Amino acid sequence: MSHRLDFVTTHATEFVDITDRIRDEVRRAGLRNGRVHMQSLHTTLGLAINENEPLLLHDFESLLDRLAPAGAGYEHDDFARRFEVPLDEPANGHAHCRQLLLSAFATLMVEEGDLVLGRWQSMFAVELDGPRQRQVALQLDGEFARSDEQVSLEALVELELARQLMVDPEPVASPMRRLVEAGGKRLRPKLVQLTAGIGPGSDPLRAAELAAAVELLHNATLIHDDYVDESTHRRGRPTVAAAEGPERAIAVGDYYFAKATRLIAQIGNGGVTSALAEALEAVCASQIDDVAMRGSYPGDRDSYMRVIRGKTASLFAAACESGALLSGAAPDVVDALGRFGVLLGTAFQMADDMVDFSPSSGKPVGLDIRQRVLSLPLIYAAEDRVVGPEVRRLLAGALGDAEVGRVAELVTASGALPRVRQEAKGLIDAAVRELDAVELDGLRPALAGLALSAVDRIS
C-alpha cells in the first residue's frame, strides 16, 4: 500500500517529527505486522531517526552547519558554470551536501499495529533548504488486519448466503451449500460491499444482498467449469460433478445462475443488472475460447490475456462497478473502479496460475498442467529458449505423473514464475493508482489492502 506524506517546513533547517503521522498511516491502513518504507522525494530533505529533544536538535543543526556551512564556495552555487539554471534556483550547495550526510530512505518495523521504536526514538524528516512544501513517499507491507466494520460486512454476506440457501429445494441447495461452506476467498462479494460504501446511497443490507448474489453467480459458474475441466476436487471437497454426476451439476449451476440473476434484478437498479449480465456473458464467451485454446496448448500471452479478461477480470470489474452503482457513486468513480477491477482480476488470475507450481499451496502441484488449463507461467516457460522445446514436446504428448512433474520442474527452473509474479504486482500497482484520481470517501486503503491480499499468495 502506497501513500504520500505532505507537509510544509517553516525554517531553513528544521527537524520535522513525522512519527505520529506515520503511526496514523499504519493505523489507518490496518497494518498489523510488517514494515513502513519511507523515501524522501527531494534532494535537500533527509530522513533520520533520533531523539526529539529541542537542545539536541539544535546540536544536530550546529553539527550540519559545521560540516557543510552555507556559502562555503560550493561549485553547485556557481550558476555561471551550470546549464539551464532556473530563475528561482537557490544557492543551496550546502543543503545537498548535508543531505548526503543523512539518508533519503528509512524503514520502520511494525508489530501488533504499532511502530517498533525505542523509548527515545522519533522519525524525522530533516529540512535542509526550507521553507518549502515537502513530500515523503510511504509504502506499507506485511499483514493487514481487517477492521471491525469489514468483519461485520463479511458476516452479513455469510448470513445472506445461508438465508438464500435455506429457502431453496434440497436437491440444488445441498450441493451449493457444500461448495459455499467449503470457503473460498469471497473476493467478489468483498469488492461489492466495499464499493457499495462509496456513494451517498450506501446501504449495507442491500449491498450484502447484492454481494451474496454475486457470490452465488460465481459459484454457479464454478460448478459448470468443474464439469468441463473434469475437476474432481474444489476447495478440498469433491466437485458437484464428481460427487453427484454431470446431470446434477448442470441443474445446480443453472438453478443458481437463474436465482442469482433474479436476486440481482430484484435489487431494482438497472445499471447493476446490466453490468453483471454483461460480465456473465463475457465469462461464458471466454470459457468457450479457453477450451478452444487447449487445442494449441499452452497458447500465447495475447490469447491468455484476452481469455482471462473475460473469464476472471470481467466479474471482478462488474463487482466493483455494481457496488458503486448501487451506492449512487459518480460515473467517474464507477469507471475508475471498473478499471481497478479489471487489473485486479487479471493479477488475481496470474497469482492463481502460480499456485499450481507451489508445493506449499495445499493443492497438488501441476493440476492445471494435467487438465491443460490456461496458465501464464506455462506460456512463458514454453517460450523460453532453454526449457521451451522440452516443455512444448512434453505438452504435445500424453500427460502422466512423470510428464506433469517434469513440466512443473522446467517451469520452476525457467524464470517464468518470477516474471509472472512481477507482472501481477505491476498490475496491482496500476490498479491502486486507478484509485488515486477519484474521491472514494476514505475507502482507498481498504480497497488497496484487498487488492494486495488477492495476490499475497505469490509474495
Rounded to an integer, what distance in angstroms lies between the CA atom of residue 278 and that of residue 439? 26
Element (H, E) at 135: strand 133-144
What is the secondary structure of 414-426 as a DSSP string? Answer: HTHHHHHHHHHHH
The answer for residues whose C-beta is within 8 angstroms of residue 202's C-beta and 6 or more apart is: 196, 327
Q: Scanning residues 24 to 53, which ones bind another protein (CB under 8 A)?
A: none
Judged by CB under 8 A, the stretch of 136-144, 168-176, 390-398, 418-426 that binds another protein is 168-176
The verdict on 171 binding another protein (CB under 8 A) reads yes
Rounded to an integer, what distance in angstroms lies between the CA atom of residue 274 and that of residue 279? 8
Decide if 36 contacts 108 (C-beta within 8 A): yes
In the bound state with another protein, the residue whose beta carbon lies nearer, of 234 and 248, is 248
Q: Scanning residues 244 to 263, which ones bind another protein (CB under 8 A)?
A: 245-252, 254-255, 257-259, 261-262
Decide if 177 contacts 163 (C-beta within 8 A): no
Rounded to an integer, what distance in angstroms lies between the CA atom of residue 376 and that of residue 326? 34
In the bound state with another protein, the residue whose beta carbon lies nearer, of 198 and 263, is 263
Minimal distance, residue 300 CB to another protein, in Å: 21
Residue 285 phi, psi dihedral angles, 5° rounding: -65, -40
Judged by CB under 8 A, the stretch of 35-43, 177-185, 243-251, 438-446 that binds another protein is 243-251
Count of residues of this chain found to bind another protein when the rule CB under 8 A is applied: 40
Residues 102, 157, 172, 180: which binds another protein (CB under 8 A)?
A: 172
What is the secondary structure of 293-321 as a DSSP string? Answer: HGGGTT--HHHHHHHHIIIIIHHHHHHHH
Residues 101, 137, 242, 284: which binds another protein (CB under 8 A)?
A: 284
Minimal distance, residue 270 CB to another protein, in Å: 8
Minimal distance, residue 193 CB to another protein, in Å: 22
The verdict on 357 binding another protein (CB under 8 A) reads no
Decide if 123 contacts 53 (C-beta within 8 A): no
Residues 169, 295, 362, 400: which binds another protein (CB under 8 A)?
A: 169
- Cell, residue 84: 539551464
Partners of 49 in beta bridges: 123
In the bound state with another protein, the residue whose beta carbon lies nearer, of 257 and 357, is 257
In the bound state with another protein, the residue whose beta carbon lies nearer, of 256 and 357, is 256
In the bound state with another protein, the residue whose beta carbon lies nearer, of 245 and 331, is 245
Minimal distance, residue 397 CB to another protein, in Å: 22
Rounded to an integer, what distance in angstroms lies between the CA atom of residue 87 and that of residue 430? 36
Using CA atoms, how far residue 265 sits from 136, 164, 281, 348, in Å, is 47, 15, 16, 28
In the bound state with another protein, the residue whose beta carbon lies nearer, of 5 and 260, is 260
In the bound state with another protein, the residue whose beta carbon lies nearer, of 268 and 331, is 268
Q: Scanning residues 183 to 242, which ones bind another protein (CB under 8 A)?
A: 224, 227-228, 230
The verdict on 372 binding another protein (CB under 8 A) reads no
The verdict on 265 binding another protein (CB under 8 A) reads yes
Residue 144 phi, psi dihedral angles, 5° rounding: -100, 140
Rounded to an integer, what distance in angstroms lies between the CA atom of residue 94 and that of residue 345? 49
Residues 36, 115, 280, 458: which binds another protein (CB under 8 A)?
A: 280
The secondary structure of the chain in percent helix, strand, coil, rounded to multiples of 5, reads: 60, 15, 25
Residues that bind another protein (CB under 8 A): 168-169, 171-172, 224, 227-228, 230, 245-252, 254-255, 257-259, 261-262, 265-266, 268, 270, 273-274, 276-278, 280-281, 283-285, 287-288, 291
